Homo-oligomer: A and B are copies of this chain.
Amino acid sequence: MLTLADVQAAQHRLRSVAKVTPLIYADSLSQSAGHPVYLKAENLQLGGAFKLRGAYNKISSLADDERRRGVIAHSSGNHAIAVAYACKLLGVRAVIVIPDNAVETKVKITLSYSAEVVRCGPMLNDREDTTRQLQEQHGYVLVHPFNDPQIMAGQGTAGLEIMDALPEVQAVLTPVGGGGLISGVAVAVKSRNPAVKVIGVEPQGANDAYRSLREGTLVTLEHPDTIADGLRSQHLGALTYQVIKRYVDDIVLVSDEEILDTVRILAENEKLVVEPSGAVAAAALRLRRAGSFTGPAVALLSGGNIEPALLKSLF
């Protein structure tokens, strides 16, 4: 299972590559929550999301012959951007499989980092089939969006930064899609201080991790349905599920309406542009959905790559 040492090794590799993003006190959210709220602003990360942490950690760890073969990834957006960005930095060929229903802003950013983009159908098996075919034809190395120890370790570096910046934190909340982010963060946070709560947040329409924790088995959703395009995963990974079962205290849910309200509030009051997936943890604190705290809690804003037309529609 993933360990603190893995996350620390990732932190070493990411030094001078990924940003140490700011942890920002949020005045208006603190008033709504009834306790101090800080925002871990991964929307300000290079590529606009935390995903660079895992992607760079993975790709920079590849053997020379693997790097020469090039890498392939499938993603609805931010992992695509991150793999393209990391490959550009490392001089590795990147082929990205993106479903037809992805947010076009994210496709545009991916292309801007000179990745080759292949489109496919919207379901997880469409992506996986297309990816497998291309792998078999060309010998590319797969960079999985979440179910990989190097990816999980990379994402966990955000957790180390939170503990360094705010040792007195009482709870850390992150979005949950495939579980790469929360599993890395949970290992980092709990290793530093087991008393700190680690809480995942999912949209009501993509509640597979919520159900998996409650039912004690890895639940798969047929048709996840939520505005939070980064959290439409059908199920956790086998590896991320193991870590989540052991280290995560709870998973809570927010509605699409609550998510969009929070995107608007983050822009108007906290001056931060956040995409729907990135706003779920802040929504949970704002709505006191994750229990009550007497001290500071952190909401991780996982990304900022929102479609301009959607942002516009919120004002």
Contact = CB atoms under 8 A, between A and B. Distances in A.
Interface in A285-315: 304, 308-309, 311-312, 315
A218 to B, nearest CB: 34
Interface string A53-92: 0000000000000000000000000000000000000000
A200 interface: no
Contacts of A273: 267-268, 271-273
A44 B24 contact: yes
A46 B28 CA distance: 10
A177 interface: no
A315 B309 contact: yes
Contacts of A304: 271
A274 interface: yes
Nearest to A309: B315
A205 interface: no
Contact of A272 (B272, B309, B311, B312): B272
Interface residues of A, number: 23
A226 interface: no
A119 interface: no
A19 interface: yes
Contacts of A22: 22, 24, 41, 44
Nearest to A42: B271
Contacts of A312: 312, 315
Contacts of A268: 273, 308
A41 B272 CA distance: 11
Interface in A1-54: 19, 22, 24-25, 27, 41, 43-44, 46, 48
Given A24-B22, A44-B24, A308-B315, A271 B270 contact: no
A308 B267 CA distance: 9
Nearest to A49: B271
Nearest to A305: B271
Contacts of A25: 19
Closest 7 CB pairs of A and B: A22-B22, A271-B304, A271-B273, A308-B315, A312-B315, A43-B271, A267-B273
Interface of A: 19, 22, 24-25, 27, 41, 43-44, 46, 48, 267-268, 270-274, 304, 308-309, 311-312, 315
Given A22-B24, A22-B44, 16 more contacts: A19-B25, A22-B22, A24-B44, A27-B46, A41-B271, A43-B271, A44-B272, A267-B311, A268-B273, A268-B308, A271-B272, A271-B274, A271-B304, A272-B272, A273-B273, A312-B312
